[in-house]
Amino acid sequence: MISRPALSTGDAQRGYLIPIGGAEEKEVNPTILKRFVALCGGSHANIVVIPTASRLADTGSLYVELFEKMGAARVDFMQLKNRKDCERPSYLERLDQATGIFITGGNQLRLSTIVGGTPLADKFRYLNAHGVHVAGTSAGAAVIPEHMIAGGDAGPTPTQAGVTLTPGLGLINTVVIDQHFRERDRLGRLLTALAYNPYACGLGIDEDTAAFIGPDGVLEVVGSGGITVVDPADLDYSSISEIRKGEVVTLLNVRLHILAAGAQFNTNTRKPFVNAELEPEELA
């Protein structure tokens, strides 16, 4: 079953979705994490950390300490070890109190196999549709969309079977996300994912970089790296169905944007733009 975003009801406004490319700065200038805490209410922020993707025992407590240092009022983490944990009434009730949910990095397949299709996943979608902000870093970013990149080949060139796709949490269905993008040379596998079905845009997010996607579908780039937007809306041709495994995919008329901090992209209209108030510094 494919998971799709929940519908907002009444006067509810959707919360932000904040995929982070991984390796976000945590100590010297944690711009992304500070902005997430501020968005969640600052000194009134109530955050739940989901460290399920990580096998490290201290991942949850690390982010709890970080968010508390940034002034959040309450921060807890949920150690989800199996699918039964995702049905626990106490966990579902705790999430109802949250203003923000943060999903850590690790292995996105641990996330999808433990959380996917559970009452907890349903709760994530419902809460986001009703104003709760959801951030995820690395594996936690990959699992946010309806379709999740679970693995694939490095390199700039798309190839048949060069990516593995599985269902994600379904918090958004207009984008597919790849993380550690420039650092791990993942353009080819993102292009391959879009070659299968060019409905969604591809977001390739560099490390220490985040897309703050608002309720209107407009994302703003925050952090020290960039976001590569691959837009196949006007794709004329894909050879993915006609070639053998490992062969190079032909893609005609794919649009590409490179967005740095402050640049924006509307995921609904697929229009990029730069805030007029942000003037580039003069070249030395």
Catalytic residue list: 138, 180, 207
Q: Provide the H-helix boundaries in 76-170.
A: 89-96, 108-115, 119-129, 139-142
> Residue 34, exposed/middle/buried by CB under 10 A (0-12, 13-18, 19+)?
middle
> Residue 42, exposed/middle/buried by CB under 10 A (0-12, 13-18, 19+)?
middle
Taking CA atoms, 223 is separated from 63, 133, 211, 213, 244, in Å, by 18, 18, 9, 14, 39
Taking CA atoms, 181 is separated from 141, 147, 163, 229, 246, in Å, by 12, 17, 14, 11, 21
d(CA 7, CA 129): 6
d(CA 123, CA 59): 22
Which candidate, 87, 89, 146, 88, places its Cα nearest to that of 112?
146
Q: Cβ distance 97 to 115 under 8 Å? A: no
Q: Provide the residue count of the chain.
A: 284
